[in-house]
């Protein structure tokens, strides 16, 4: 497994990107930590943004508050969603982000894209 870690200063843009990918069925939500669902069990972009912004201190001096990590497996690795959720949870905890709100998405592999 290879981890690619990047950061950004625009939480709204990062969430917008992921929500659009999910809406287009290019990604699927695997795991959500510390975010509230609506009555239908869905997550709205506005509510997720509000939930995440609440965790950033008002006088935060960190310039790039958005953490993006892509965990890339070998093409022949096909772990179950349960295994991926466990790996993700352990990874986030090991980095010290276990208690932070986060959303994990899976890139949808289209036929012939491997």
Out of 13-17, 18-22, 94-98, 110-114, least confident range: 110-114
The two structure tokens encoding residue 22: 């999910």
In tens, the pLDDT along 56-109 reads 888 888 888 888 888 777 878 888 989 989 998 998 899 888 888 888 888 866
In tens, the pLDDT along 35-67 reads 888 888 888 899 999 988 888 888 888 888 888
The two structure tokens encoding residue 84: 């991926």
Give the per-residue pLDDT at 86: 93
The two structure tokens encoding residue 89: 């949870």
Of 66, 8, 14, 70, nearest to 45 by C-alpha is 14
Residues 6+ apart with CB under 8 A from 112: none
Residue ranges covered by each domain of the chain: 2-107
pTM: 0.74
Contact 97, 67 (CB under 8 A): yes
């Amino acid at each position: 497994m290879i981890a690619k870690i990047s950061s950004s200063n625009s939480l709204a843009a990062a969430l917008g990107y992921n929500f659009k990918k999910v809406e287009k069925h290019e990604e699927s939500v695997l795991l959500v930590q510390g975010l509230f669902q609506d009555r239908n069990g869905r997550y709205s972009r506005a509510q997720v943004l509000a939930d995440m912004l609440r965790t950033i201190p008002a006088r935060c001096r960190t310039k790039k508050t958005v953490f993006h990590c892509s965990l890339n497996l070998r093409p022949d690795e096909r772990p179950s969603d349960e295994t991926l959720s466990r790996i993700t949870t352990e990874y986030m905890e090991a980095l010290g982000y276990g208690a932070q709100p986060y959303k994990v998405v899976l890139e949808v592999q289209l036929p012939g894209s491997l």
